[in-house]
Amino acid sequence: MNTVDLIKKHRFIAIFRHIDPVYAADAAQAVYDGGVRLFEITFDPSKPNTIKETQQIIKTIIGLFGDDVCVGAGTVIKQEFAEAAYEAGARFIVSPCTNEGIIRYTKEHGMASLPGAYTASEIMRAYELGADIVKIFPIAPDQIGYLKNIISPLSHIPFIPTGGINPDTIDMFMELGAAAVAAGASVVTQQLCESGEYERIRENAARHTAAAAKYV
């Protein structure tokens, strides 16, 4: 099954944002035990060692679960991030914006492209440049009316909303036809890892996957 089909099959992506690599294995195991099979590991452009750390986490998760999971990279705002993600084994690239060069590199290297866009023009441009799924960003639950209006004339474009995704809001996004949803802080945080609350992380993941599973 190709990457886009896997995303549409599992419907929920757990985002690892600002997670120290030393916690990656335990955090990934907890999230996996909660039913998650899609992982997005984000770069942190403010950290000089973000490439090394992000690659390390991607490799750790792939090493643990192999083909049973699909791992991608997020906050890919530079081509060097896309290159590093590919070298680490990432299968999809997520960005907060639309960058033609990053989309081109992503597609040329067999990864799925999920660039970010917000307006109708931006969403259309991202799709025309080769996006497999457009990340509509930022979208909060109180902007559901905007999302409904913006996707109505663009119903042929697969999309993923991000922002404000949690077990209580997944329904409203899925009912609008989202290909999948993604969440980070409501699943796993550095603080939860530092305090060893892996059972809570597992429970968080299970609640998200259960909510998304109704639409599988």
Query: What whole-number distance in Å separates Cα of residue 87 and Cα of residue 81?
Result: 10
Query: What whole-number distance in Å separates Cα of residue 158 and Cα of residue 66?
Result: 27
pLDDT at res. 169: 94
Residue 27 identity:
A
Query: What whole-number distance in Å separates Cα of residue 181 and Cα of residue 197?
Result: 24
- 105, 79 contact by CB (below 8 A): yes
pLDDT at res. 203: 98
pLDDT at res. 164: 85
Can you tell me whether residue 205 is helix, strand or coil? helix
Please tell me the total count of domains within the chain: 1
Domain that holds residue 69: 3-213
pLDDT at res. 26: 98
Going from the first residue of the chain to its last (216 residues), give the mean pLDDT of each consecutive group of 10, the final group possibly shorter: 96 98 98 98 98 98 98 98 98 98 98 97 98 93 91 96 92 96 97 98 98 94
pLDDT at res. 162: 87
Can you tell me whether residue 201 is helix, strand or coil? helix
pLDDT at res. 58: 98
For the domain that residue 124 is a member of, what is the CATH number? 3.20.20.70
pLDDT at res. 141: 80
